Amino acid sequence: MSEERTEEFSAPRVNVNLAVSGDVKSGDQEPRADAQRKAEPGKETEARKESGDKDRKGKTKKVSAAKVQLQGRLPALVDDADIGVEKEQIVTRDGKPDLLFMGTLMASAAPATAPKGRWQEYRIYMTAGGKHVFAKVSRSVFEDDEDSHEAEVFDPAPSSVPSQLMRSAREIARAKPMTWMDAAVSFFGYDPLAKALYRKLSVRFEEQIT
């Protein structure tokens, strides 16, 4: 009698295991989706935000199809083909006049991924007159979030006001002329994206010690 009862209870345990680990049926899709979201919480959060999920204030955030297309290209940028080509350039600036000049895009950098649908793009230009332009764009895939644009011009002439303003007190005390590389570091800093930008240039930005 006891052996018969053991066989009776073993059957449903096998069936339960098959339902969890076997091929997914129509009624089992939701548990598998939950397991995938638990395994990749960052990707799930990003996907929900980009699909127009509600923010903390309960407002639905819609995404821009054009911006999602830009995000899908990362780390490539739309003007990568223009690197090294001299042409008329327009660099947008918020709160200031846009910059228009003949020059060359020397290098650009963008991240491979865009956490929470936001990312930055760094660019360095050289004008036909020998100046350098540093540009930073902060983008978002959401329609209500406007992209921000920053840009600075570095003039190598020692008498130029912008170059003097960008020099630190220590550099002025040492009477050391500021180079465009110094100005680039002052503008971009040393975050991972800035270092990726510097590595694309034919100059060394590392701090050399002996």
Q: Is 95 left (phi over 0), alpha (psi -120 to 50) or beta?
A: left
Beta bridge partners, 124, equal 107, 134
Write out pLDDT tens, residues 169-200.
555 555 567 889 999 999 999 999 999 999 99
In this prediction, residue 158 carries a pLDDT of 55
- In this structure, are strands 99-109 and 118-127 parallel, antiparallel, or unpaired? antiparallel
Nearest 5°: phi and psi at 28?
A: -105, 5
Across 77-87, average pLDDT: 95
pLDDT(126) > 70: yes
**Does pTM top 0.85 for this prediction?**
no
